[in-house]
Structure 1
């Protein structure tokens, strides 16, 4: 649940949360369903504001939608200021969901593409945490949940390749570092490593490729967005207070460490 005994309602900050078929929006909805207030961040300020209003109407919780490019320091700073002005309940969870795919082969990989992928997937998680973690410390309760990928664990094989694998492997390292450094504040830090999920992130993927992805999974299907969202919210709960520094695989058996 999104309530800490004796404290009251808390806010979950969810990045990459404006797409109807995205993990971020499903996660924001699940937090709200569990009673959290929700701050939604995404590139498109108008769309994310609409999504925030929809969640507020549906679940009756405080929300705010904020336009933000997580890969840009100034944009994250502006998002922090907007968040603070919204005067939501104390921040209790940071859910870094924003990400971009990258299917080019390594020998075709440009520095521009490399920087784009590292910027959104890894630097974005760093910038959001650096800006908002002080609010977790101030509030006395904190959960960080970052988005890695099965691609980081086996080097590709889903859709994206080396740049994405490197970025998402970096997220695992970031998550572990935060777990060690922030433990003294009672803040936990974990990441989720999904396999193929039924979203639109694989831009340009064909029906044949999607069918092949599903066929290669032992459970013979892709994950539902809501299944990833449920894990985000559980890792943010009081029940998960002793879990930190972990990578939670949720891939239908496509990668078993």
Structure 2
């Protein structure tokens, strides 16, 4: 068992924004538990890279967070290796790219999106918060979408939008309820970061802009990871119940409405 270091459990940490968050936290010296659903080889490769490059402990834990049973197993397996879970980052969240109206969603699709984006946060937080209370310290980070705090409608994304809107309220409720225990909870809302840029760096984005390969500075996974790293810092304890947009000032939903 590894002791005396803060441990971060990151759901969906094998790829995309989750991967960049894993790397950023490893740079800061956190012990890492990478949760993945299907990306086993990617998770194992990333964990080995983290160990070799940054010299921090890193494990991988399989589990579909949309399933309550898997959430229990993910937490138990993490605690079988590490003494505590100090930081919980809810990065994973099912998303259906096909554009469909509410009535076109199957019951199974609706349930999966709600479970994966909202209920999973309840499952994992219920398991982890008592651990954080014992040490009077903890950080919980959720991810939303631009303007989620205003409960906007999002055409063709009814299930995802409903779940994340509920999650915004839940995140703020956790912040209020757990503040006395030294636990903060905040939501980060990424802008329009395409798959191509989710695992790239800020420098790569700046280089693309300078070489006229992009019309504007693209948002990257590193942009999001840096904000998460700031929010979980020891000195960020006064920041809680916040919903922080990281959009480059770009109106994500406005673009969708124009389309």
TM-score range, shorter chain: 0.7 to 0.9
Aligned counterpart, 2:249:
253
Deviation track 1:127-153 (CA, whole Å, cap 9, x = no partner) reads: 111112222222332110101111635
Deviation track 1:57-88 (CA, whole Å, cap 9, x = no partner) reads: 211001111001111111111112211111x2
Gaps in structure 1 of 5+ consecutive residues: 1-6, 203-218
Contact 2:197 2:220 in 1 (8 A): no
RMSD: 2.4
Aligned counterpart, 1:52:
47
Contact 1:147 1:191 in 2 (8 A): yes
Aligned counterpart, 2:158:
162
Aligned counterpart, 1:26:
20
Aligned counterpart, 2:60:
65
Matched pairs, number: 229
Match of 1:85 among 62, 75, 80: 80
Per-residue deviation, 1:194: 1.1
TM-score, normalization by structure 1:
0.81
Q: 1:130 aligned to 2:150?
A: no
Deviates more, 1:193-202 or 1:234-243: 193-202
Q: 1:231 aligned to 2:227?
A: yes
Aligned counterpart, 1:207:
none
Deviation track 1:217-245 (CA, whole Å, cap 9, x = no partner) reads: xx945410110011111110012110111
Deviation track 1:121-177 (CA, whole Å, cap 9, x = no partner) reads: 1111221111122222223321101011116354337xx622111111111011011
Aligned counterpart, 1:11:
7
Shift in CA distance, 59/89, structure 1 to aligned 2, threshold 3 Å: farther
Aligned counterpart, 2:186:
190
Aligned counterpart, 2:171:
175
Which aligned runs of 4 or more in structure 1 are off by greater than 4 angstroms?
A: none
Give distance in 1, aligned partners of 2:144 and 2:60: 24
Shift in CA distance, 255/246, structure 1 to aligned 2, threshold 3 Å: farther
Is the partner of 2:173 in helix, strand or coil?
helix
Per-residue deviation, 1:15: 0.4
TM-score, normalization by structure 2:
0.81
Aligned counterpart, 1:42:
36
Contact 1:66 1:82 in 2 (8 A): yes
Give distance in 1, aligned partners of 2:216 and 2:102: 29
Aligned counterpart, 2:206:
none
* Superposition pairs of residues 198-237 of structure 1, within 5 angstroms: 198-199=194-195, 220-237=216-233
Per-residue deviation, 1:113: 1.6
Per-residue deviation, 1:198: 2.9
Q: 1:112 aligned to 2:99?
A: no
